[in-house]
Amino acid sequence: MPFPTRSVSRAVGLTALGAGVAAAAVALVRRHRDDVRLQRNVDLATLGVKVGSTYASTAARKVFASAERRVELDTERELRTAEAISERLGNMKGALMKLGQMASYVDEGLPEPLRQALAQLQSNAPPMSAELAAQVIREELGRGPDELFVEWDPQPLASASIGQVHRAVVVDPDTGLERAVAVKVQYPGVGDAIAADLRNADLLGAILRQGFGGLDPDEMVAEIKERITDELDYELEARNQTIFAEHYRGHPFIHVPEVLPSLSTRRVLTTELVTGHTWAEALTWDQRQRDMIGETLFRFVFRSLYGMHLFNGDPHPGNYLFHGDGRVTFFDFGLVKHFTDEEMATFVSMVRTAAYEHDVPAFRQILERAGMLRPGAPVPDPDVGEYFSQFYESVREDKPVTWSGEYSSRIVRHTFDRTSPISQYATVPRAFVFIQRINLGLYALLGELRASGNYRRMAEELWPFVQGPPSTQMAEAEQPWLRSLSATRPSPPAPVPRPAAPAPAS
C-alpha cells in the first residue's frame, strides 16, 4: 500500500523541527535586521526551507536499500566548488537545521507552524559534482577513485547532511576478494560552516526558547553542539561503527556494516554495501513482521545502552534497512553518546524505582540528585511520580501492549509542555538530553509500526538488575550470541529480588 502522508511526515520527523527552527529564525531576524549574525543565520534557515532536504541518512539509506539510484540527479544543481558548497549547502545544513532535527521526533507533538513546515523539507539537497567528490577522495586517500576502486559510480546514491554516498567495488586487502562498498564523502567547507554556526550559541538558545516556551535549553544546546561537532569527524564515526559492529558480530537479527579502515579518513568513510528494504516498505508488511521489527529496535537500543553504555544518537528510520523476520541493519554512527558509569547508575536506578519497585519517594530523590527536579519543590510525591514516569508506562506492568502514534505524540507533548505546574521546577540536565532522544525517537518508531508485545518482559531481560529469562522466540535466538559475550565479560551484578505486585487502588 502507499506510504501515507502522515507516516511520511513522521518518518522524516527529525527534520520537522528543522523547518520550525527556520521559521523561528526568520521571525527573530525580522526584529533584529541590524544584527549581522542573525541575518546570516536567517539566510541559512530560509535557504533550508527553499531548497529543502531530508535528513542525511534517510535519503542515503533509502537508495542503499536497492543499491540503485531512484532519482535523476539534476546536473544544473551540482555544486562544483568548495565555496558553493559552504554557502549553499554547508550553511543550509548547519547547526540550526541539525539542532531542529535532533529536537523533533513525531510531527503531531509539535506546534502547528512547525508541522506545516514539514512538507518543505522532503527533497534531496543538491549534490557536489563528480569532479569535486573525486578531488576530496584524492586529497584524503592519495589517489583518485578510479585508481582506488575496481568500479566507482561517479553519481552519488544520494546527497546527505554533510556528505554524499557513492557505490563502489574494491578488492578487500585482507581477503583479496572483490566486495561492494558504500563510500561517504564529506562536502568541502561544511565543517567550517557548521563551526561558525555553532559559535552562535545565543541564537540557538533563542530559537529553542521560541519553539518551546519556557524551556531553558542551555545544557541541551551544549550537548547537541558537542555531538554535532563529532558528526563532522568520519574517523570518529568509523571507530564508533567498528565498536558496534564488533559487539553485534554474530547476532541473529542485528547487523552493523563493517568499516574498511584503510579507505576511511576524517572526510571519507568506506563501509560494506548492504541492500534491503526501506522503512516505507517495511510499514506495508504484515503485523507479525512489524512486531518483530519493533522488538529488534527495542533490543538494539537498550542492549547498547545497558550493555555497552553507548547510544547511537540518531533513532531515525532512514538509518535502518530491513530484511524480514526481525533482521535489521543499522547505519550512521556519527552521533554516538558514551555514558559514564555514574550516569548509567542514575539511569538504572530511575528505571528500577519508577517501573520495577514503584517506589515514588525513592524515585523523587534520584530525580533531585540528578538535577531533573529542584530539591524541595512544592509538589506532592504522587504528582512528581506521574509527571516523570510516563516514559516507563509501557514497561510498568507485566502485560502485552500495543504502541501507537497517539502515545508517542502524547509523550512528546508532555516532554515539551511548559504549562504543567511541575515544569517550572524541572529541567533536562546535559546527560539526559540523549536519554530523552532515545525515548522519544524509539517510541515514535514503535508507534508507527503499531508494534505489539509484552515489553515489560523484554525489558526485564535487558535491565541489569533483573536479567530475566528469554520471553520471546527472538530472545531465544539471541541466547548463543549472549553466551559468547559472557565468556569475555566479567560476571554481572546479582539481580534485584522481584518486588511484590503493587496493591490495587481502593
Please choose, from the candidates 290, 298, 286, 257, the residue with its C-alpha nearest in 3D space to the C-alpha of residue 475: 298
Report the share of the chain in percent with pLDDT over 70: 64
Helical (H) or strand (E) element with 338:
strand 336-338
- How does residue 316 score in pLDDT terms, banded at 50, 70 and 90? confident
- Per-residue pLDDT averaged across 313-332, rounded? 88
Confidence of residue 333 (pLDDT cuts 50, 70, 90): very high
Residue environment code for 389-417, b if the CB has 16+ CB neighbours within 10 A, otherwise e: bbbbebbbeeeebbbbbebbbbbbeebbb
- Distance separating alpha carbons of residues 43 and 27, to the nearest angstrom: 12
Report the chain's terminal Cα–Cα distance, integer Å: 48
Higher pLDDT, 12 or 213: 213
Specify the higher pLDDT residue, 26 or 336.
336
Top-confidence residue, 136 or 497:
136
Residue 436: per-residue pLDDT: 73
User: How distant, in Å, are the alpha carbons of 104, 124, 360, 502, 503 from that of 506?
Assistant: 40, 57, 18, 12, 9
User: For 135, what's the count of Cα atoms within 13 Å in the CB-facing half-sphere?
Assistant: 10
pLDDT of 33 higher than 90: no
- Residue 28 pLDDT: 35
Average pLDDT over residues 420-447: 81
Confidence check: pLDDT of 329 > 70:
yes
Does 16 score more than 70 pLDDT?
Answer: no
91 pLDDT more than 80:
no
pLDDT of residue 37: 42
pLDDT interval class at 104 (50, 70, 90)? very low
E strand spans, 160-274: 163-171, 178-186, 254-255, 268-272
Residues 191-201, mean pLDDT to the nearest whole number? 70
- Catalytic residue ranges: 314
Average per-residue pLDDT in the chain? Answer: 75
Percent over 90 (pLDDT), the chain: 44
Does the structure show a pLDDT above 70 at 98? no
Task: Output the CA–CA distances (angstroms, integers) from residue 391 to 153, 158, 228, 394, 439, in the order listed.
Answer: 45, 35, 26, 8, 7
H or E stretch at 311: strand 310-312
CA distances from 395 to 66, 333, 351, 354 (A): 36, 27, 10, 10
Q: What is the pLDDT of residue 192?
A: 78
What is the model's pLDDT at position 205? 63
Per mean pLDDT, which range of 133-137, 279-283, 356-360, 426-430 is the poorest? 426-430
Within 10 angstroms of residue 194's Cβ, the number of other Cβ atoms is: 26
At residue 53, the pLDDT reads 36
- With H, G, I as helix, E, B as strand and everything else as coil, classify residue 111: coil
For the chain, how many residues are written? 506
pLDDT at 418: 65
Q: pLDDT at position 12, please?
A: 31
Confidence grade of residue 493 (pLDDT, cut at 50, 70, 90): very low
Segment of 187-201, 246-260, 374-388 carrying the highest mean pLDDT: 246-260
Residue 402's DSSP bridge partners are: 452
Instruction: Evaluate whether 151 touches 169 at the Cβ level (below 8 Å).
Output: yes
Residue 76, burial from CB neighbour count under 10 angstroms (0-12, 13-18, 19+) = exposed
106-152 per-position pLDDT tens digit: 444 444 444 444 333 333 456 788 899 999 999 999 999 999 999 99
- Segment 83-88 mean pLDDT: 46
Closest CA to 160 of 52, 89, 70, 56: 56
| Residue 276 grid coordinates | 534491503
How large is the average pLDDT for residues 355-368? 96
pLDDT surpassing 80 at residue 458:
yes
In this predicted model, what pLDDT tens digit does every residue of 385-410 receive, in sequence order?
988 888 899 999 999 999 988 887 77
For 444-471, b/e burial (b = at least 16 CB within 10 A) is bbbbbbebbbbbbbbbbbbbebbebeeb
Distance, CA of 108 to CA of 479 (rounded, Å): 38
Q: Quick one: pLDDT band at residue 194, thresholds 50, 70, 90? A: confident
Give the up-direction half-sphere exposure of residue 119: CA atoms within 13 A in the CB hemisphere: 5
Q: Could you write out the three-class secondary structure of 340-388? A: CHHHHHHHHHHHHHHHHCCCHHHHHHHHHHHCCECCCCCCCHHHHHHHH
For the segment 482-501, the average pLDDT, to the nearest whole number, is: 60
Whether the per-residue pLDDT at 437 is higher than 90: the answer is no
pLDDT given at position 245: 96
pLDDT of residue 415: 66
What integer pLDDT is reported at residue 172 of this predicted model? Answer: 85
Average pLDDT of the residues in 260-285: 95
Comparing 22-36, 107-121, 348-362, which segment has the lowest mean pLDDT? 22-36
Least confident of 3-17, 94-108, 178-192: 3-17
Phi/psi of residue 399, nearest 5 degrees: -160, 155
**What's the pLDDT score for residue 276?**
93
**What confidence tens digit (pLDDT) does each residue in 200-257 have?**
655 656 655 554 444 556 766 777 777 777 888 999 999 999 999 999 999 999 999 9
Position with higher pLDDT, 16 vs 230:
230
